[in-house]
Amino acid sequence: MSMTDAGHPALAFLNTVTDDGKTRAANSFADGEGLLAQLVAAGAVPRGLPVPGGRQMATALALREAGYAVLSAMAAGRKPGREEALTLEAAIKGALQDASFAFGARGMTVVPGPLGGLVDHLALALHDLLRRDDLDRLRECRRCTHLFLDHGRGRGRRWCAMARCGNRAKAEAFRARHRAVTG
Ligand SMILES: [Zn+2]
C-alpha cells in the first residue's frame, strides 16, 4: 500500500487498514514492529522509538479509530460523535501537557516530552493535521475508509489511490454495465 498519497503523516496513520470496504477490520500490519515501520516510513514518528507492546498498541489503535471517526465526519460535513471527539481531545491534551515547545524563526515546534512514546507522537501529528488551513480539502475514499487531502483540480479525486481502489471500482462498474447489456 502507498502511505504517501494521503497528504499528511497523521492521515497515513489513520489509513493503516487494508479492507477495501468500510469495515476497518483488517490492519495493514501484523504486529507492533510492523506498525512502527509503516509510521516511520510515512514520517509520522521518528526512528528509534521502542516497538509498542500490547497496551501501547491498544491505546494507539483506539486513538486511530477515534481520529478516523472525527476526520471522517469532518470530511462528510457531519458533526463528529461526542465519544470519539473526547477520546481524541484527551489524547492531544495529554501529549501537549508533557510536550516541549521550541521557539524558532519559523514559529513554534512541539515535540513530545522525554517520556512521550508512540501515542504522544501520533496525537501531536493529529494535532498538527487538525490545525491545517486546507482541511476543507479532506476527502474519504468512495470505496474504503482511507482519508486524503485532495489538492487536484476539476471534479476532484474520488479514490485513495487508483491502484488500490480506483481500478477495482472501474472494473466493477464495467462488469455491471456488461451484465446489463448481455442480460
Ligand atoms: Zn480506497
Alpha carbon distance 50, 163 (integer Å): 33
pLDDT of the residue at 2: 45
Q: How far is CA 52 from CA 33, 82, 175, in A?
A: 7, 28, 44
The strand pairing partners of 102, in sequence order, are 109
All domains of the chain, ordered by start, with CATH?
Answer: 9-182 (1.10.3300.10)
The strand pairing partners of 95, in sequence order, are none
Ligand 1 centroid, distance to 129 Cα (angstroms) = 20
Alpha carbon distance 29, 36 (integer Å): 9
Ligand 1 centroid, distance to 68 Cα (angstroms) = 14
Ligand 1 centroid, distance to 81 Cα (angstroms) = 23
Over residues 91-112, mean pLDDT: 94
Alpha carbon distance 35, 31 (integer Å): 6
pLDDT of the residue at 3: 43
Instruction: Extract the C-alpha cell encoding 171.
Output: 472494473
Q: What's this model's pTM, rounded to 2 decimal places?
A: 0.90
